[in-house]
Amino acid sequence: MLAASSRRSAWWAGTATLGVSKIIENMEIGHNVMHGQWDWMNDPEIHSSTWEWDMSGASKHWRFTHNFMHHKYTNILGMDDDVGYGVIRVTRDQRWKPFNLYGNLLFNTLLAIGFEWGVGLQHLELGKISKGRDDRAATLVRVKEFGIKAGHQLAKDYVVWPAVTSLSPGATFKSTMKANAVANVIRNVWANAVIFCGHFPDGADKFTKTDMVGETKGQWYLRQMLGSANFEGGWLLRFMSGNLCHQIEHHLYPDLPSNRLHEIAVRVKEVCEKYDLPYTTGNFAVQYGKTWRTIASCRCRTSFCATPATTLRRLAASGCSRSSDQAMHNGSRDRSPSRTELCGRNGAGMAS
């Protein structure tokens, strides 16, 4: 369609479909492949160790910042860089700075528009670089890797494909370049909305480093559940979000194939109800609105934004954390279901 993009209707149709294809490649394919959800197939083309996605950040970098740092230290201040992405205050336990007054909403808007660049730059740890606290040799390696990937991406989107389509009498170099830029923004804004709905709306707790002291495996699972939030929608919304509308289930079983998350959600919710644990979910638009409300309220020094580990500390204070730990991990008959029990025998080994 972009080969005929000199016509306005063809340009809009081509731009929209390209944006949708980038969303699918990023959310349903790239994210889930790099989590190792399909490694069990032993197909080198869709393996977590070889996949390189269609965005500026290097897959190698993302696998560390996301698969390891984010999923292991979910919503822990000072450990999980996804908590505010270093520029947005999302909880009262984050130190307030004057620029938060305008920066919270401004940076969140800019981050949404250029989300692929925020994700790509995250692994470089610009904060440490600016303070001289980085390993300079390691930093240079990461910068080089990022520069190579970002350079290839920019060349593909804004030089190669525009040049190819400009060979058509119905398109120009400039029209395709603009289409690619808009398609990237469409993908960025959507990915930002989906991910932020998973960790920043009301009910998604934030934690401090002290909350993980002496943390058992069962309590780790509990923290994953308390720090995540779902949103509701039909099959199309599930597909377009890479099934991250089931963020709670994804954080409990990150390498479980995404098409099984909807299936196990019913049983995870039953476990939560049985042990009186919160299961945060809601309409997609409402959840996204709540993330913006949190970000807006936390721009002020004194605000109503979330206090870290609210539910976790309440459970500990009431003596319920022990039974919750038992529910999420131990071998008693009252424990939460294992992946085998949740998915059935055929799905138990799919993403081990």
pLDDT at 8 (0 to 100): 87
Series of mean pLDDT values for 10-residue runs along the chain (352 residues): 80 94 96 95 92 93 93 91 86 88 93 94 84 86 94 95 89 91 97 94 89 89 94 93 96 95 95 92 95 91 61 56 52 42 40 34
Beta bridge pairs of residue 283: 232
Closest CA to 29 of 224, 179, 244, 206: 244
Provide CB contacts within 8 A for 175, sequence distance 6+: 2, 5, 6, 11, 165
Separation of first and last alpha carbons in the chain: 41
Do 56 and 120 contact (CB within 8 A), yes or no?
A: yes
pTM attached to this predicted model: 0.85
Q: Kindly give the interhelix angle for 310-318 and 217-226, rounded to the nearest 10 degrees.
A: 130
CA distances to 80, 147, 297 from 123, in Å: 12, 12, 28
Beta bridge pairs of residue 232: 283
Q: Which token pair is 180?
A: 């690619």
Do 295 and 90 contact (CB within 8 A), yes or no?
A: yes
Question: pLDDT tens digit string along 309-322?
Answer: 555 655 555 555 55
pLDDT at 168 (0 to 100): 86
pLDDT at 2 (0 to 100): 77
pLDDT at 134 (0 to 100): 82
pLDDT at 268 (0 to 100): 95
pLDDT at 126 (0 to 100): 83
Provide CB contacts within 8 A for 238, sequence distance 6+: 245, 246, 262
Question: pLDDT tens digit string along 140-169?
Answer: 999 999 999 999 999 999 999 999 998 888
